[in-house]
Amino acid sequence: MGTGAPHPIDATDGASAHKPSGFVILIPNQFFTMRLSITAVAFVLPLFALAEQQQQPLLGPGDHIKLQFQKYYDLFQPYIPHWNTYDAAHAAAAKAGGANVEVLTLSNWKDTLRNSVTPASSKPEEWWVFITGGNKTCFGHCETSNRAFNETALLFAADPTAPHMGYINCEHQPILCNAWAIGPPSLYIMEVTPEPQPVDVRRQNFNGTTVSASDFVKIHTTKSWKEVEPYVGYFHPFDGEVAKYGVGAPIGWFLWIFNVLPNWAFMLLVSVVSRSFMSKRMAPPATARAPGTARPVGGRVGGAAPGDAR
């Protein structure tokens, strides 16, 4: 009794007499199963990765950079202001129903207007150019005038004496609108002549909140637009000083960048430029020396060396 021998299994214990202890067998089985699962997963995962790499073409460092750039460009594209957008849907809608309305852009406006006449033309071609915009440029006040202009274009489609019609959307063409120094809603009535003859441009005023198609038709039938003095300012699209010297697009770019640039960025730019300018002005002038004269050791031009009292 005092020897501490293990208690023998009772033969009359039924199933426990022939069943091994679960404490000794189950733990090694669970441990073995867990080790087997981890080993299988660790072996299969590289096979999946290798199969995926074999299905995809090999990409070089430049391709990875392009993919990353495209990824971030697609992410920020909705927030990037556009300066020369051609809306094909709006262009198709402008020509629907027999209305021949040209969509003018920074790259095609001059050719579109000038190509309506030939060098042998004896009389000018009448053009109505409607200036419109969206929420950012017209602040939602162009809906009435847009509807009136579109309805007028449909009415003019059956009139052989009707003018050519075009429109500029300042939301899509901010450079062109800035180059002409014009904003929506506006109407330019032009008498286009062959080059190099001058082009008469008149700005027809109207009430953008109440204008209707009948108002535009009345302007055409009565020719009341001829009573308006032609525009002769610097920003004349054809004959102004800005157009003659070819600086319309640069001015339009500058005004567009100035408008889209945040105030803090503009102030930061002014601060950097002013500090750079002032640092150059406040810099001490360089000491002039005669040509061919070597600078002595110690920086002294003449006299005895320091500490020499002779």
pLDDT digits (tens, 9 = 90+) for 139-172: 888 999 999 999 999 999 889 999 999 999 998 9
Name the DSSP letter for residue 163: P
Q: Give the mean model confidence (pLDDT) for residues 294-301.
A: 54
Q: Give the mean model confidence (pLDDT) for residues 273-280.
A: 79
128: closest CA among 90, 95, 100, 106?
A: 100
Q: Please say whether the beta carbons of 143 and 210 come within 8 A.
A: no
- Which residue ranges make up each domain of the chain? 88-259
88-259: CATH architecture: 3-Layer(aba) Sandwich (3.40)
pLDDT bucket at 187, cuts 50 / 70 / 90: very high
Residue carrying the six token digits 């054809």: 238
**Of residues 221 and 271, more confidently modeled:** 221
Average of per-residue pLDDT values in the chain? 77
What are the tens digits of pLDDT across the range 21-40?
A: 444 444 455 444 445 455 55
56-88 residues labelled b (16+ CB within 10 A) or e (exposed): eeeeeeeeeeeeeeeeeeeeeeeeeeebeeeee
pLDDT of residue 48: 52
What are the tens digits of pLDDT across the range 201-220?
A: 999 999 999 999 999 999 99
pTM (whole model) above 0.85: no
> Which residues sit opposite 103 in a β-bridge?
167
pLDDT bucket at 67, cuts 50 / 70 / 90: confident
